[in-house]
Amino acid sequence: MAKTPLPKNLELPPAMIEGATSVADWVIVWPIALPMLGAAVLLMARKRPEWQAPFAFLILLATLVANVMLYLRVQAEGPLSMTMGNWLPPYGISLTADSLSALFSMVSAFILLIVILFVQSEIETRENKYGYHPLLLLLLTGVSGGFLTGDLFNLYVWFEVMLIASFGLLIIGGRKIQLDGAVKYGFLNFLATTFFLIAIGFLYGLVGTLNMADIALKAPQVEGGAIAAVAALFFLAFAMKAAAFPLNSWLPASYHAPDPAVSAVFAGLLTKVGVYALVRTHLLLIPQSHGQLQVVMEVVAGATLILAPLGAMAQTNARRALGFLVIGGIGAMMAGLAIGTPLGVFGLAAYAVNSMLVMTALYLVVGLVERMGGTSDIRKLGGIYRANSWLSIMFIVLVFAVAGLPPFLGFWPKMILVLAGIEMQSFWLVGLILLNSILTSIAGSRLWAHIFWRDGREGVNSEQINTKIRPLPQRAVVWGLLPTGALVAFIIVAGLWPEPLFRAGGDAANDVRLASDYVGAVFERVPETKGEGE
């Protein structure tokens, strides 16, 4: 049936526009739409396992290209926004990209592209039938949607998409350890989501809108304890999502349970969406809350910085120990949030990129170690250096990067955070950032010594060779070692040539602290009379 054209004299509501959306504006949609469509296609084709990996790779490659195009356009033109269905903001559903959100979305797509190659070294046919690849694409959909949404309720929706996809990936295989981890992961994340939804309801009651740019205009005009209570609820919800102390018990209890590739994706992406949400709510939506909660943020950051590497030292499971190192990185990002200056946000953004790349690579390396040793228990490992020196070199380089030692990638964000702390005269926080580097180095070196340097298993003669070690099969070398090595090489080059990271982090900090540019991009097409709600 042909579509009947609208009468020419029909008056549109004042909340709508007549002009068509240009093709160029759709660049902000593709980072979300491509993996979503890819997941749907692969789900329908789950009985054709031979299609899953090639199609997922092509979708992720296209998604990365779309993200690069979006990032370059944001760099050239400033923040971009698009509102669906010809509605004007704040009435329609908006997608908004600035330098921070576009950067995080681009790095997320890059990580998934590397991991989808690694997956081929360990995945089984039955996992393809259970929807392994569609769930990975759906997870990226939720992550990218969380970064690019311009609407607070849709941030909640994308969190739910992430939660569903991650829960599915966590339990594929049905092993007891996976089900146990899934219960702990699901319970605390559902609790965080509940707090988030309550905060959304209270905020809507105060300002009458859920569009982020509109909230940024109206929330600063709300005074009193009500807005402070809403900010506290947001902080509680997102700190739990980010696994900041003391709300972090779910992460080390669950990240070691699934396949190594899934653990790598979780470590690289999930907690960063929580950090991003903290930045958005406390530096854009409710900026007055930063001063109200700054002491709390500093205490949470300091405790997370110190207790996380101490927790890593106490672990005998390699992936559980890495989970605590992920949490330690969250402490560094929380320190940047607590400082709250442009330099602090600069350090936060740069360290988040470092953590996304480095922690993903660390989990992939440990996954290959597990393949060689048959276990992730460091007491039963040892002698990996003799069997594969490349893994040993990659692991220690990544440990130095996550600790923030020069000249590796993590050093530059840590240096920026230290300078930001000195600028704010928060010397005790500076001391804890430096102490975190020392403790993380010790925790990581302990893992390296047990896994690689020691010849044999714990409790035997130190000169006795570990006969349980097996060389990597050819498939694991091609699909596992080579992509992981490429990621580590990228991290090394980025550390030795940090100018792109400086530029990206600086642009992200400027966009976060200049709320007027973000708001202006959203309301660019709104006439003044309509912008006033008339």
Mean pLDDT within 36-48 = 87
Q: Is the pLDDT of residue 290 over 50?
A: yes
Q: What is the DSSP letter of 5?
A: P
- How would DSSP label each residue in 167-201? HHHHHTT--HHHHHHHHHHHHHHHHHHHHHHHHHH
pLDDT the model gives residue 462: 53
Indicate whether 17 belongs to any domain.
no
413, 505 contact by CB (below 8 A): yes
Please state, rounded to an integer, the average pLDDT across all residues of the chain: 84
Structure tokens that stand for 48 in this block: 């054709």
pLDDT number for residue 23 = 57
Determine which of 136-145, 158-167, 198-207, 253-262 has the lowest per-residue pLDDT on average. 253-262
Is the pLDDT reported for residue 2 higher than 50?
no
Check residue 401 and report its DSSP letter.
H
Average pLDDT rounded to a whole number, residues 156-171: 90
Task: Determine, yes or no, domain membership for 99.
Answer: yes
**Amino acid of residue 297:** M
**What is the Cα–Cα distance from 119 to 475, expressed in whole angstroms?**
11
Residue 18 lies in a domain: no
Helix (H) or strand (E) holding 325: helix 318-339
Q: pLDDT at residue 175 above 50?
A: yes
* 131 against 99, higher pLDDT: 99
Amino acid at 102: A
| DSSP3 helix / strand / coil % (the chain, rounded to 5) | 75, 5, 20
pLDDT at site 8: 53
In-domain check, residue 13: no
Whether residue 68 is contained in a domain is answered as yes
Per-residue model confidence (pLDDT) at position 51: 82
Q: Contact, 106 vs 269, CB < 8 A? A: no
Question: Is 421 domain-assigned?
Answer: yes
CA 304/CA 243 separation, integer angstroms: 9
Instruction: Report the half-sphere exposure of 234 (CA within 13 A, side-chain side).
Output: 30
User: Is residue 16 situated within a structural domain?
Assistant: no
| CA–CA distance, 121 with 478 (Å, rounded to integer) | 8
Tens digits of per-residue pLDDT, 395-436? 999 999 999 888 889 899 999 999 999 998 889 999 999 999
CB 345 within 8 A of CB 510: no
Reply yes or no: is the peptide bond before residue 473 cis, omega within 30 of 0.
no
* pLDDT at residue 454, as a whole number: 74
The whole-number average pLDDT for the span 24-51 is 86
Q: State the residue range of the domain holding 308.
A: 25-531
Q: In 3D, which of 274, 260, 462, 245 has the Cα closest to residue 369?
A: 260
232-284 pLDDT, tens digit each? 999 999 999 998 988 888 888 888 888 888 999 999 999 999 999 999 998 88
In Å, how far are 182, 321, 359, 480 from 258, measured between CA atoms?
9, 15, 16, 17
What stretch of H or E contains 166?
helix 152-171
**Best CA proximity match to 508, nearest among 427, 426, 416:** 416
Q: How far apart are the C-alpha atoms of 259 and 474, rounded to whole Å?
A: 19
H or E segment at 94?
A: strand 94-97
Evaluate whether 146 touches 158 at the Cβ level (below 8 Å): yes
Q: What percent of the chain has pLDDT over 70?
A: 89
Nearest to 301 by CA among 282, 286, 318: 282
Burial 63-73 (b: 16+ CB within 10 A, else e): bbebbebbbeb
Decide if pLDDT at 481 tops 70. yes
Per-residue pLDDT band at 362 (split at 50, 70, 90)? very high
**pLDDT at position 533:** 41
Residue 480: band (very low, low, confident or very high) from pLDDT cuts 50, 70, 90: confident
Tell me, what's the pLDDT at 77?
Answer: 87
CA distances from 15 to 11, 479, 526 (A): 11, 52, 9
Omega of the bond leading into 246 within 30 degrees of 0 (cis) = yes
Task: Identify which of 62-71, 81-90, 119-128 has the greatest average pLDDT.
Answer: 62-71
What average pLDDT score do residues 322-326 get? Answer: 93
> Which of the two residues, 78 and 532, has the higher pLDDT score?
78
pLDDT at 457: 56
The pLDDT > 90 percentage for the chain reads 42
Tell me which range, 113-122, 437-446, 512-521, is most confidently predicted by mean pLDDT: 437-446
Q: Which residues pair with 80 in a beta bridge?
A: 97
pLDDT given for residue 531 in this prediction: 41
Count up the domains in the chain and report the number: 1
- 9 located within any domain: no
From 150, 161, 90, select the one nearest 523 (Cα to Cα): 90
